[in-house]
Amino acid sequence: MTFTSTSKAVFLALLAMGLSACGNVSRNVAKDGSNAQELVWPKVDDVTPMHRGGTFPEIDHLREMHAGLNKQQISQLIGWPHFEEGVWGVREWNYVFNFRDADDHVTVCQYKILFDHDKLARSFYWKPEDCAHYLNPPPPPPAPVAKQEAQETTLSTDALFAFDRYSLKDITDGGRAQLDALASHLLDEKDRIAHISVAGYTDRLGSDEYNQVLSQRRADTVAQYLVSKGVPQDAISAEGHGKAEPVVQCADQARGKLIACLAPNRRVVVHVDTH
């Protein structure tokens, strides 16, 4: 066969390209593409001019890479290789990919694909190896925190207790009926109950010390009554607040009218946190 001067030039150019690329091709790629005797990574700066600096790949497309894809399919997912590996019998493609971290830092990674004798992708490699973690799916969003619901029941101590009284035996018939109904409701909801707090309050009449003690004793009595009806003792607490947090403010007036005006302040509040 006779070569013209032009064909000789083309042949020599192609030969030069193939030879010049040998340093960028791994040694002795297995026929099935499963491995190579030696993986050779090209220098990042040796990418083709159009790939200078590498590219930012579509992560979802990279996740679709798998064994068995042909070169056309791979090029549609992540583009053509970034280096000149050679002309004939190319059994690997190399890429330079950039990944941007949450803190806006850019990491440069190299990606290599080895092909089998039929030019189908068979094995994939990263340099450095931990670059593979960029293909991991994002962590699932945290499970929503169960919102705690609160229920609150206000009981008038004027209806619960005889005047100026606080013990279990001082609870009125009407007061027992209210507490029985509340206990029944709490037992129905016991699996959802996180905590029950019982708070006692008085009006502003009397000394601070007296009102504090009275409010605590009434709160304790209500808590004890609920426990006696089956409400778990370890789920309930009681605290007296004396004349704090008044519901109403009443001007000084005749004692009887003042006591009646201040009635809303004399109360026991049962607060229930559920989950």
Q: Tens-of-pLDDT digits for all 275 residues of the chain?
A: 454 555 554 444 444 444 444 434 799 999 999 999 999 999 999 999 999 999 999 999 999 999 999 999 999 999 999 998 775 678 999 999 999 988 899 999 999 999 999 999 999 999 999 999 999 988 888 877 666 677 999 999 999 998 789 999 999 999 999 999 999 999 998 898 999 999 999 999 999 999 999 999 999 999 999 999 999 999 999 999 999 999 999 999 999 999 999 999 999 999 999 88
- In 3D space, the residue among 235, 236, 229 whose CA is nearest the CA of residue 177 turns out to be 229
Do residue 131 and residue 154 come from a single domain?
no
Residue 158 located in a structural domain: yes
Residue 91 located in a structural domain: yes
Q: Please name the residue that has the structure tokens 């001019």.
A: 49
In this predicted structure, what is the pLDDT of residue 5? Answer: 57
Among 135, 165, 190, which residue terminates a domain? 135
Alpha carbon 140 to chain centroid, angstroms: 7
Q: Which residues pair with 199 in a beta bridge?
A: 239, 269
> Which residues form the domain of 204?
149-274
DSSP class of 180: H
Residue 5 located in a structural domain: no
Q: How far is CA 137 from CA 8, 83, 122, 124, in A?
A: 52, 28, 22, 18
Residue 159 located in a structural domain: yes
In this predicted structure, what is the pLDDT of residue 102? Answer: 82
Indicate the helix (H) or strand (E) that contains 152. Answer: strand 149-156
Q: Where are the beta strands (DSSP E) in 43-164?
A: 92-100, 106-115, 121-127, 149-156
CA–CA dist 193, 275 (Å, integer): 6
Do residue 267 and residue 154 come from a single domain?
yes
Residue 11 located in a structural domain: no
Do residue 130 and residue 41 come from a single domain?
yes
Residue 224 located in a structural domain: yes
Q: Which residues pair with 236 in a beta bridge?
A: 196
Contact call for residues 81 and 94 (beta carbons, < 8 A): yes
Residue 96 located in a structural domain: yes
CA–CA dist 240, 168 (Å, integer): 16
CA–CA dist 173, 141 (Å, integer): 53
Do residue 62 and residue 159 come from a single domain?
no
In this predicted structure, what is the pLDDT of residue 22? Answer: 45
User: Per the structure block, which two tokens stand in for 220?
Assistant: 């304790």
Torsions phi, psi of 39, nearest 5? -80, 125
Global pTM value: 0.50
